[in-house]
Structure 1
Amino acid sequence: MGVTPSNAASLVLPPLAAYVHIPWCVRKCPYCDFNSHVSERGLPEAEYIDALIADLELDLPGAQGRELTSIFFGGGTPSLFSAESLGRLLDAMASRLNFAADIEITLEANPGTFEQIKFAGYRAAGINRLSIGIQSFNAKHLKALGRIHDDKEALAAVAMARKAGFDNLNLDLMHGLPDQSLDDAMADINQAIELGPEHLSWYQLTLEPNTVFYSKPPILPVEDTLWAIQEAGQARLAEAGLAQYEVSAYAQPGRQARHNLNYWQYGDFLGIGAGAHGKLSHADGRIERYWKTRLPRDYLDAAKDYCAGRKVIAAADLPFDFLMNALRLSDGVPTAFYLARTGQPIEAIAPQLNEAVRKGLLEPWDQQLRPTERGRLFLNDLLEMFL
């Protein structure tokens, strides 16, 4: 069942963002479980932009008059598309939705796709943040990960991004790679710090189902090495002024990813593109998640409706749905967010919250829903208390 009408009066429409999925890559990486596909017949760029605009038109009622606070182009490899195409989509979005004056517009980019003129074009089109998929600065590890770039191209990509006028960069970096030592991992961290990114996403390689690595697992570092990398890396990043504000996100002061913060603070987001997901709150108290047709060819053939499914989140599921996002943040969220963004009174889950405090997993929750250091280490155990 959905939230009750009495709760609906307490639900406040949260900030709104937009996610745009570009599903193509040059080559599928063996660890990747995202909705990405190799295009063997060239990119249907113009046709796909047309479909994205038509998809957006159908999603417009969900905006309910709110302005967009952020847009994120994810993939796949969005930087395979031209600046002209992405600019056309942004113009179409701006003509249909109100953009916040300080809107954050992020493009995921692969170092193997960098061209100076192209990236200057992205900046001119209004994209003001890049997320560069470095993964490692070690040529051996990049080859093991199946990346199409090498260490020199990784360094060159950052230099080109700066030259193109981008002053807000995220670098994606992985650790726990095949045959990676503590020294290797720290060399990657130190190289990233030297480049001065405003934001760093640093996370451990995991073997996900439906990937090449899952069916043919590489030899990964042992647990003691993984733990040593985690501890040493976090200490070095903190020393460099990149504060950890989420499980795998580190940022200079004031440079947290606004788009991702909106996810974790249980904001709303439109999702357009093949396989994109969205979340919308409604004035009647319903909170729903929805998803789009996954395969690019099916998405392009979807003449009238790109949506593959919708699900209203049941009242009993809202505590977990909210907290699995909010408690990823080191500082959590204001306690008042729970009522405002779920329509449910916090007192309804007070027994579980108090038990989490008693177990040392959650700080006292009168003002802030914040995990303790132990709670961050055992986040799954904390969340299971709300299932």
Structure 2
Amino acid sequence: MLIPPPLSLYVHLPWCVRKCPYCDFNSHEGRGPLPFEAYVDALIADLDHDLPLVWGRTVQTVFFGGGTPSLFPAEAVDRFLQAASARLRFAPGLEITLETNPGTAEHGRFEHYLAAGVNRLSFGVQSFDDGCLRRLGRIHDSREADYAVKLAQDAGFDNFNLDLMYALPEQTLAMAEYDVERALALQPTHISHYQLTLEPNTLFAARPPAGIPEHDEAWDMQERCQAMLAEAGYAQYEISAYARPERQCAHNLNYWRFGDYLGIGAGAHGKLTLGSEQAILRRWKAKHPAEYLAKAGGAGAIGGDERISAERRPFDFMLNALRLNEGFSLAGFEATTGLPRAAIAAELATAADRGWLSNDGERVVPSELGRRFANDVMELFLPD
């Protein structure tokens, strides 16, 4: 039987200063003044339209993603959070994260975000090498990255993430190590460290940049940087996520544990367990900001609805859960998918035989080999 898991709220703010050539997110370059007030109105209308799907449930985390959410003034973020908390039950002390680009930091703004209720920041630093940043199309340099983080710390933020990428064009192992050293010097509570990939429908996919490290070079970077992070007290808890004790990203953990999330905003995706229907609904919103602004609050803003079939639920679950070092409990699989553990017994046995995971009858945990070949493990659960 399906049991609704914890619920999160994802809010998509779609504009950025300049589209990065590697980015496949729903982000749009802002041209002229951005319609902040109108967009918050649309977010509230969108939330009102979806409220019947989550009546009576408590929101455990909020995440403002983008785009570049830090383009939005703190007053706009505050107005949305006040409206959302009047409509939804917010858990006491819930984690509220705002993604920010170091190139958009302004003096005094972080204090206002903190006053609005944001208590966690995620900085899209990517690298502390100015040459790498230029090749990635970023709008900031390493000095601005340092400055933005220190502004946030001075404002009172003590919980923040730094995004770092590796295997960048023309990057060497020493350069990857330097990025980690610079990040550690800023004493973040969390570091996301992930490999540059050439995603479809991006400029880099159409015109790959020169000098991307070979696979073995990228693996050397990953192993060395993982060791550096471990030595500094950052435990890896997910394929690309490292945190100090008790500082894991609660919002992302809910995703990876196959939790529910309500998606609000242009192009936002949500996943909701409908207990009365014993169904799992995926819903996404219209991608283009202009269309979303025109239709938010009605059925026209819904880009699509899909109920996840029983046959596909094991793969969808594993796509998330097998990213975690902790793995998952078989009881948790049953509760969040509504399927018996027997539904995945054959696949689990195959993965165990290959040394990809362990299974003690209660908990399934990926091995180091399984984490390295996570995609192969997940593919075992694809429906026929």
**Superposition TM-score, scaled by structure 2 size:** 0.97
2:281 aligns with: 288
Distance, in Å, in 2 between the alignment partners of 1:172 and 1:351 is: 37
CA distance in 2: counterparts of 1:365 and 1:105, whole angstroms: 36
**CA displacement at 1:277 relative to structure 2:** 0.1
2:342 alignment counterpart: 347
Query: Deviations for 1:87-145, whole angstroms, at most 9, x for unmatched residues?
Result: 00000000000110020000000001111311110000000000000000111111111
Tell me what 1:269 maps to: 261
Q: Which residue of 2 aligns with 1:112?
A: 103
In the other structure, the counterpart of 2:152 is 161
Question: Match of 2:36?
Answer: 45
Q: What is the alpha-carbon distance in structure 1 between the residues aligned to residue 19 and residue 164 of structure 2? A: 18
- 2:294 matched to 1:301? yes
Contact 1:327 1:369 in 2 (8 A): no
Letter in 1 for 2:366: P
Which amino acid letter does the alignment assign opposite residue 280 of structure 2? I
Q: How does 1:86-235 map to 2 (within 5 A)?
A: 86-219=77-210, 220-235=212-227
The code of the aligned residue for 2:233 comes to G
Q: Which residue of 1 aligns with 2:306?
A: 311
**C-alpha RMSD of matched pairs (Å):** 0.9
Aligned to 1:4: none
Alignment of 1:368-387 (within 5 A): 368-387=363-382
In structure 2, C-alpha distance between the alignment counterparts of 1:386 and 1:332, rounded to whole Å: 15
Match of 2:333 in 1: 338
Letter in structure 2 aligned against 1:46: E
Aligned to 1:241: 233
Deviation at 1:66, TM superposition (A): 1.1
Give, in whole Å, the separation in 1 of the partners of 2:380 and 2:200. 26
Tell me how far apart the structure 1 counterparts of residues 142 and 372 of structure 2 sit (CA, whole Å).
Answer: 32
Matches within 5 A, 1:58-73: 58-73=49-64
In the alignment, residue 88 of structure 2 is paired with which amino acid?
Answer: L
- 3-state SS of paired residue (2:11): strand
Correspondences of 1:315-330 after superposition (within 5 Å): 315-330=310-325
State the 1:225 CA deviation.
Answer: 1.5
Amino acid across the alignment from 1:141: C
Deviations 1:9-33 (A, max 9, x none): x211100000000000001111111
Deviation at 1:41, TM superposition (A): 2.4
In the alignment, the residues of structure 2 paired with residue 149 and residue 348 of structure 1 have an alpha-carbon distance, to the nearest angstrom, of 49
1:258 corresponds to: 250
Residue type of the alignment partner of 1:256: Q
Contact kept? 2:2, 2:279, Cα under 8 Å: no
Cα distance in 1, alignment partners of residues 312 and 201 from structure 2: 27
Q: Letter of the 2:79 partner, please give it.
A: R
377-386 or 265-274: bigger deviation: 377-386
**Structure 1: tracts of 5 or more residues without a match:** 1-9
Runs of 4+ in 1 over 4 A off after TM superposition: none
Superposition deviation, residue 355 in structure 1? 1.6
SS at match of 2:319: helix
- Report the counterpart of residue 358 of structure 1 in structure 2: 353
Share of identical aligned residues, percent? Answer: 55
Return 5+ residue gaps in structure 2 as ranges.
none
Letter in 2 for 1:344: L
TM-score normalised to structure 1 length: 0.96
Deviations 1:360-379 (A, max 9, x none): 11112412121111111111
Question: Aligned partners of 2:64 and 2:183: how far apart in 1?
Answer: 23
1:361·1:372 contact (CA, 8 Å) conserved in 2? yes
Question: Which residue of 53, 56, 59 maps to 2:47?
Answer: 56
Task: Tell me if structure 2 keeps the 8 A contact 1:24–1:75.
Answer: yes
Aligned partner of residue 370 in structure 1, secondary structure: strand
Which residue does the alignment assign to 1:15?
A: 6
Amino acid at match of 1:249: A
Residue 3 of structure 1 corresponds to none
